[in-house]
């Protein structure tokens, strides 16, 4: 079962690496216009701060990822 990991509890360098891996992952789509890595990282960081995204650890696969609000609801990690 996946669990939300408070992003504030993750060391800064680790969080930076996690966000960078997330925004450069194959299949991540940011629309028609190309967006810089710095801009994409900041977008994710803002979403973590405002609660519209969260860091999630999946115990079954032992992986960590970032999920948006819809993904969190679908996984049963937030109220509907």
pLDDT of the residue at 52: 93
Question: Tell me: the pLDDT tens digits for 12-47?
Answer: 999 999 999 988 886 555 566 677 888 889 999 999
The domain spans of the chain are: 2-24+37-74
Phi, psi (rounded to 5 degrees) for 67: -120, 145
pLDDT of the residue at 15: 95
CA dihedral 45, 25, 63, 54 (to 10 degrees): 20
CA distance linking residue 49 with residue 45, whole number of Å: 6
With 90 as the cut, is the pLDDT of residue 4 above it? Answer: yes
pTM for this prediction:
0.83
Handedness of CA 25, 29, 34, 36 (dihedral sign): negative
Are 54 and 48 within 8 A, CB to CB? yes
CATH of domain 2-24+37-74: 1.10.10.610
pLDDT of the residue at 72: 92
Are 75 and 56 within 8 A, CB to CB? yes
């Amino acid at each position: 079962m996946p669990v939300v990991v408070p992003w504030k509890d993750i060391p800064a360098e680790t969080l930076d690496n996690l966000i960078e891996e997330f925004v450069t992952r194959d299949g991540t789509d940011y629309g028609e216009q190309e967006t810089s890595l710095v801009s994409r990282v900041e977008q994710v960081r803002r979403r973590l701060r405002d609660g519209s995204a969260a860091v999630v650890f999946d115990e079954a696969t032992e992986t960590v990822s970032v999920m948006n609000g819809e993904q969190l609801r679908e996984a049963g990690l937030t109220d509907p």
